[in-house]
Amino acid sequence: MSSATAGDLLITVAPTGAETTKEDCPQLPTTLEELVDTAKRCQAAGAAMIHVHIRDAEHKPTLDLGRLKATVDALHEQTDLVVQLSTGGSVHDPLDKRLKVLDAQPDSCSLTMGTTNFGDDVFSNPWPFITELYQLTQERQVVPEFELFDLGHVHALHRLLDKYGPPYGGRVHCDLVMNVPGGMPGTTDALVAAVTALPDAVTSWSATGIGRSTLNVILASLSKGGHLRVGMEDVLTLARRVPVEHNEQLVSRAAEIGRMAQRTPMTPDEARELLAIKPR
């Protein structure tokens, strides 16, 4: 008889992103060593999946395949986390390089369901790119996480699943990325509208609120039965003028709020089952 409570809250950590510079934020994990150390500490604090963007020797965002492979291998060797590589990269990455990310053989990858204004930039995700990337995930048996920045992206997800069928593994997991300047706001109303419009095929979803919407989105997601993504990709302060010193703080806070809502952080193994990740 097991006394452990089964986890029912997936916490994904997005520790680095592609937007913040090391100069502006020296505590951002940008080297492989920093990333692995962060991953270990975040797993201990309750994270079960890691959403990864990597940097080069100058701490600039890169999609270098050798570095991506080394990162996936190191995270697999030194943690149990589900390893999700970003196929979004930075707004400057070309589409062909973003497709090559799957060559690094992650467990999961992000797949954004439409183009969105991204501050002063444009995060480009044309429909032919979406369908090519999706079919590649099916072929390579990589579980996609559909990133939804806007209500229109939810509509596009219906279209994708209708036309190309379910993802590898048969589960459909989404992440609402809220409050990007150009996307849907990080409000409870927007979250409810997006969740209400999700396809019936969706089996799990998480939400993340960029910047100061982070806490509101955590609370809204929990109250609607969703999972959580947190990390320094999305927010750099714990409160007004209180910088995040380590991603672990954001994961611990999410786990604590989750427990208050009587949700138990999932283990990486439980997350693998939830998302139907291919066994390695």
Binding stretches for ligand KMH (CB under 6 A): 17-18, 86-88, 90-91, 110, 112, 118, 123, 147
Q: Which does 213 bind (CB under 5 to 8 A by kind): ligand KMH, Zn ion, none?
A: none
* CB-nearer residue toward Zn ion: 46 or 231: 231
Please, what is the minimum distance in Å from the beta carbon of residue 123 to Zn ion? Answer: 10
- If binding is defined by CB under 5 A, does position 112 make contact with Zn ion? no
Residue with smallest beta-carbon separation from Zn ion: 86
* CB-nearer residue toward ligand KMH: 88 or 258: 88
Please, what is the minimum distance in Å from the beta carbon of residue 279 to Zn ion? Answer: 25
Q: Which stretch binds Zn ion (CB under 5 A): 30-38, 80-88, 184-192, 210-218?
A: 80-88
* CB-nearer residue toward Zn ion: 130 or 263: 130
Question: Of residues 86, 125, 206, 249, which one binds Zn ion by CB under 5 A?
Answer: 86
* CB-nearer residue toward ligand KMH: 87 or 214: 87
Please, what is the minimum distance in Å from the beta carbon of residue 55 to ligand KMH? Answer: 12
Residue with smallest beta-carbon separation from ligand KMH: 88
Burial class (CB in 10 A: 0-12, 13-18, 19+), 9: buried
* CB-nearer residue toward ligand KMH: 236 or 257: 236
Q: Which stretch binds Zn ion (CB under 5 A): 83-91, 168-176, 181-189, 239-247?
A: 83-91
Distance between CA atoms of residues 93 and 62, nearest Å: 8
Distance between CA atoms of residues 275 and 235, nearest Å: 25
Q: Which does 247 bind (CB under 5 to 8 A by kind): Zn ion, ligand KMH, none?
A: none
Q: What is the token pair recorded at 252? A: 């611990």
- What does the binding site for Zn ion look like in residue numbers (CB under 5 A)? 86
